[in-house]
């Protein structure tokens, strides 16, 4: 790959938004090269300028934005010098782009076939009169099942993974030489993420195109990239071949990103965090841009701009100390020696909450009289137990019922059947004032903190909502003091009381949400994907905070997530959910090391791992989850299971209880242990399990 000719060369790229001294410079001197057939990953926190760099390459800058200086050469052609008519041919032609959120990029009132046909007509005039065959060919090339039928469907009829495949098909319509993928897997489950990454690699092998992959996920970089560029505050501060970068990252910012990663070997330890935040693009710099957040900053860092230093073949670092050893760390994945708690696995006590046979079914109504013609079995017989001071992770793909379980526990959704016991007291018979009083012991932290807050309310009123609803607000001065104490507990200053949600970063808003949940001294907090939208550095801050609060207050967490790395770091138990049912449950070390259910194994095999040379050939989980309104007969997972047997298609497996405390619902649970792990799904090699069943 290093001998391939250069397709894209960027030199000194500067982007300005606005005029004069008040102009914002989100991109301020970017240099990079991408070779033919190469995947170049642009890595960094939100606000570093990654997406703005991509928009500058496409000349799709926001109003008031302009390329202030620098050159962009695509196969020798200067893109900034092209008139708009010629640039339109390049945009979507030789340069394609996949945006982060496919639902907002697709037109909801046009079929996907019509939307792909637009690109076909523009870039393949010979297909303009009858683009349908080309549309079907593109949908088939991106692995969309039944493309002849799907071409007439609308975006809302497709899953998240299918919509992302449609976006890739649109980008491929112009047969691009360079494909820009802006966070293409951030909002997807690990199984769909693996499918999309494998699809991009397969298309790259077939077409020879180059890929600019924008991400903040080090695991995705390890799986997909040939070269890496680390971006910070509008500049690229380190570039290297992928293997070299993961073995020997040199810039202090790169090393901090590695140290912020959650993983099982850091259990019982605090994750390293990067103090402060990415500086404003309005700021002018006299020295190193990372100096204010760097543990190694010295005298030259504040007043002298560092130059790029070549520390190895094709490995350049923008740091004054690039060639000196870093004595503060032993490697990219080094561990912060500060312990998070004395005992990383709190002793198992009496159950704080018990869930028995929980079912949540939603009626399907049709006809003029709105008669019930079916049921959506969102949750279909869940059994869980959680002790105080411990964390139970609930994992699975989107649509499997995880969030519905959390809402049913809080009675935000009324269960169809089953029982929820909080400290031995059934919540089923409570209503009105009694239920409201008991809810003080159970709180929830939502995935998107901004949408869960009233944008017109200051933080003081947001945090005080629960106290006022429970009649515990007290006098105004006492209430304000209590809220200030809560903010201090989650690491926010008292000045935040009178500010509004839009004035905070994503991580700070999540801290406000946690403070609101803590206001009523709950015994249980349901965390619904609280870190999925956060950068790795902010995620580390939130995970450290949750562990500290659990140690201090003995709170139990039901942690809903699809991030396996977070599960391995934070949880003591894990339950794997599929189509409304728990298919495997047990101690986190046992389940993650030797998964017994094929779905558990598929989730782990799909999870990206931030290690060098992770270019693995795997067998990603195929297909999408069936509809909970029409679950397949027998084992619900058998249509997607690579080793399903006739028995799996006939009866749903009983739950097997193993001596280790693990529970698994599979006709062949022990056969999986004998397979090689990880990297492939092997053959079942023993008869159906005949142990105790529950």
- Confidence check: pLDDT of 125 > 90: no
- Confidence check: pLDDT of 267 > 90: no
Say if 261 falls within a structural domain.
Answer: no
Q: What's the domain count of the chain?
A: 3
Domain shared by 455 and 384, yes or no = yes
Say if 679 falls within a structural domain.
Answer: no
Domain shared by 248 and 142, yes or no = yes
Check residue 111 and report its DSSP letter. -
Q: Which helix (H) or strand (E) holds 256?
A: helix 252-259
Rounded to an integer, the average pLDDT of 271-291 is 89
Say if 313 falls within a structural domain.
Answer: no
Which pLDDT band, with edges at 50, 70 and 90, does 572 fall under?
very high
558 within 8 A of 352, measured Cβ to Cβ: no
**Considering the chain, what is the average pLDDT of its residues?**
87
Domain shared by 486 and 610, yes or no = no
Domain shared by 139 and 238, yes or no = yes
Domain of residue 221: give its range: 6-252
Q: Which helix (H) or strand (E) holds 235?
A: strand 235-241
Domain shared by 439 and 564, yes or no = yes
Domain shared by 235 and 111, yes or no = yes
Phi then psi for 353, rounded to 5 degrees?
-140, 140
Give the model's pLDDT for residue 617: 56
Q: Which helix (H) or strand (E) holds 230?
A: strand 227-232
Please tell me the pTM assigned to this model.
0.86
140 within 8 A of 113, measured Cβ to Cβ: no
Contacts of 495 (CB under 8 A, 6+ apart): none
Domain shared by 611 and 532, yes or no = no
Give the model's pLDDT for residue 145: 81
Which CATH number fits the domain that encloses residue 562? Answer: 3.40.50.300
- Confidence check: pLDDT of 636 > 90: yes
Say if 357 falls within a structural domain.
Answer: yes
Lowest mean pLDDT among 82-91, 403-412, 564-573, 656-665: 656-665
420-440 b/e (C-beta count within 10 Å ≥ 16 → b):
bbbeeeebeebeeeeeeebbb
Contacts 24+ apart (CB under 8 A), 574-577: 574/392, 574/393, 574/394, 574/395, 575/384, 575/392, 575/393, 575/394, 575/395, 576/395, 576/396, 576/600, 576/603, 577/382, 577/394, 577/395, 577/396, 577/400, 577/401, 577/402, 577/405
H helices within 321-421, ranges in order? 402-409
- Confidence check: pLDDT of 685 > 70: no
Joined together, the tokens standing for residue 554 give 């003995």
Instruction: Compute CA distances 188 → 39, 552, 553, 604, whole Å.
Output: 20, 34, 33, 15
Say if 278 falls within a structural domain.
Answer: no
Domain shared by 514 and 651, yes or no = no
Count of alpha carbons within 13 Å of 111, Cβ hemisphere only? 13
Say if 78 falls within a structural domain.
Answer: yes
- Confidence check: pLDDT of 694 > 60: no
Domain shared by 37 and 89, yes or no = yes
Longest dimension (CA), the chain: 78
Listed residue (640, 643, 619, 676) closest to 198, CA to CA: 619
Give the model's pLDDT for residue 28: 94
- Confidence check: pLDDT of 278 > 90: no
336 within 8 A of 272, measured Cβ to Cβ: yes
Q: Which helix (H) or strand (E) holds 485?
A: helix 476-489
Picking from 552, 576, 600, the residue at the C-terminal end of a domain is 576
583 within 8 A of 637, measured Cβ to Cβ: yes
Contacts of 453 (CB under 8 A, 6+ apart): 462, 501, 509, 512, 513
632 within 8 A of 638, measured Cβ to Cβ: yes
Picking from 218, 252, 286, the residue at the C-terminal end of a domain is 252
CA atoms 520, 525, 529, 535: torsion sign: positive
Say if 200 falls within a structural domain.
Answer: yes
Give the model's pLDDT for residue 690: 39
Q: pLDDT tens for residues 287-344?
A: 999 999 998 888 899 889 999 999 998 999 999 998 876 645 444 544 454 554 444 5
Say if 404 falls within a structural domain.
Answer: yes
Q: pLDDT tens for residues 602-634?
A: 999 888 888 765 555 566 677 778 888 889 999
Lowest mean pLDDT among 73-87, 309-323, 416-430, 526-540: 526-540
Domain shared by 516 and 602, yes or no = no
Contacts of 326 (CB under 8 A, 6+ apart): 250, 252, 255, 296
155/162 Cα distance (integer angstroms) = 9
- Confidence check: pLDDT of 434 > 60: yes
Joined together, the tokens standing for residue 213 give 């992959």
Domain shared by 447 and 541, yes or no = yes
Q: pLDDT tens for residues 456-468?
A: 999 999 999 999 9
Strand 178-182 relative to strand 95-98, pairing: parallel
449 within 8 A of 510, measured Cβ to Cβ: yes
Q: Which string of DSSP letters, residue by residue, matches 295-345?
A: TT--HHHHHSPPPEEEEETTEEEE-TTTTS--TT-SSTT----SBS-S-SS
Picking from 576, 606, 625, the residue at the C-terminal end of a domain is 576
Domain shared by 40 and 189, yes or no = yes
Q: pLDDT tens for residues 208-229?
A: 999 999 998 899 999 899 999 9
């Amino acid at each position: 790959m290093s001998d391939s000719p250069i397709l894209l060369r960027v030199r000194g790229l500067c982007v300005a938004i606005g005029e004069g001294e008040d102009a914002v410079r989100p991109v301020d001197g970017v240099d990079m090269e991408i070779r033919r057939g190469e995947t170049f990953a642009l890595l960094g926190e939100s606000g570093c300028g990654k997406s703005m760099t991509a928009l500058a390459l496409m000349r799709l800058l926001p109003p008031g934005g302009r390329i202030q200086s620098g050159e962009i050469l695509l196969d020798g052609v200067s893109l900034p010098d092209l008139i708009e008519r010629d640039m339109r041919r390049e945009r979507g032609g030789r340069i394609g782009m996949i945006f982060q959120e496919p639902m907002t990029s697709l037109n909801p009132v046009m079929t996907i076939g019509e939307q792909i046909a637009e690109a076909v007509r523009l870039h393949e005039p010979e297909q303009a009169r009858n683009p349908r065959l080309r549309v079907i060919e593109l949908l088939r090339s991106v692995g969309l099942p039944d493309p002849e039928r799907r071409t007439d469907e609308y975006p809302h009829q497709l899953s998240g993974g299918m919509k992302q495949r449609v976006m890739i098909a649109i980008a491929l319509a112009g047969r691009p030489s360079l494909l820009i993928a802006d966070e293409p897997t951030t909002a997807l489950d690990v199984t769909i993420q693996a499918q999309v990454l494998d699809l991009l690699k397969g298309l790259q092998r077939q077409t020879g195109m180059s890929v600019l992959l924008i991400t903040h996920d080090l695991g995705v970089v390890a799986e997909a990239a040939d070269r890496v560029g680390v971006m910070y505050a509008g500049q690229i501060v380190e570039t290297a071949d992928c293997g070299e970068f993961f073995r020997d990252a040199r810039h202090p910012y790169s090393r901090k990103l590695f140290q912020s990663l959650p993983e099982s070997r850091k259990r019982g330890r605090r994750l390293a965090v990067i103090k402060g935040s990415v500086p404003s693009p309005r700021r002018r710099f006299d020295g190193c841009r990372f100096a204010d957040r760097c543990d190694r900053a010295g005298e030259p860092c504040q007043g002298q701009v560092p130059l790029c230093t070549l520390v190895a073949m094709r490995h350049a670092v923008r740091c004054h100390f690039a060639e000196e050893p870093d004595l503060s760390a032993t490697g990219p994945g080094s561990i912060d020696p500060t312990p998070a708690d004395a005992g990383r696995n709190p002793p198992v006590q009496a159950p704080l909450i018990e869930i028995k046979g929980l079912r949540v079914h939603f009626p399907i109504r049709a006809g003029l009289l709105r008669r019930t013609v079916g049921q959506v079995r969102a949750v279909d017989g869940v059994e869980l137990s959680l002790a105080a001071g411990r964390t139970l992770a609930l994992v699975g793909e989107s649509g499997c019922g995880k969030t519905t379980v959390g809402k049913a526990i809080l009675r935000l959704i009324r269960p169809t059947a089953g029982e929820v016991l909080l400290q031995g007291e059934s919540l089923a018979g409570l209503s009105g004032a009694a239920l409201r009083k008991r809810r003080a012991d159970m709180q929830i932290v939502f995935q998107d903190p901004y949408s869960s807050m009233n944008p017109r309310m200051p933080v003081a009123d947001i945090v005080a909502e629960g106290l006022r609803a429970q009649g515990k607000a007290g006098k105004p001065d006492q209430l304000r003091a209590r809220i200030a104490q809560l903010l201090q507990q989650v690491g926010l200053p008292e000045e935040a009381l009178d500010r509004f949600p839009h004035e905070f970063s994503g991580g700070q808003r999540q801290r406000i949400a946690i403070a609101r949940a803590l206001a009523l001294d709950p015994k249980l907090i349901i965390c619904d994907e609280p870190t999925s939208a956060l950068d790795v550095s902010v995620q580390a801050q939130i995970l450290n905070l949750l562990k500290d609060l659990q140690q201090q207050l003995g709170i139990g967490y039901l942690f809903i997530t699809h991030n396996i790395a977070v599960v391995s770091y934070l949880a003591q138990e894990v339950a794997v959910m599929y189509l409304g049912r728990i298919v495997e449950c047990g101690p986190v070390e046992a389940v993650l090391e030797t998964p017994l259910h094929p779905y558990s194994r598929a989730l782990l095999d799909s999870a990206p791992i931030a290690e060098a040379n992770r270019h693995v050939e795997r067998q990603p989980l195929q297909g999408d989850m069936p509809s909970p309104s029409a679950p397949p007969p027998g084992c619900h997972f058998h249509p997607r299971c690579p080793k399903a047997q006739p028995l799996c298609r006939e009866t749903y497996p009983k739950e097997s209880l193993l001596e280790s405390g693990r529970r698994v619902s599979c006709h062949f649970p022990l056969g999986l242990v004998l397979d090689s792990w990880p990297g492939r799904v092997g053959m079942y090699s023993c008869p159906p399990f005949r142990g105790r069943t529950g």
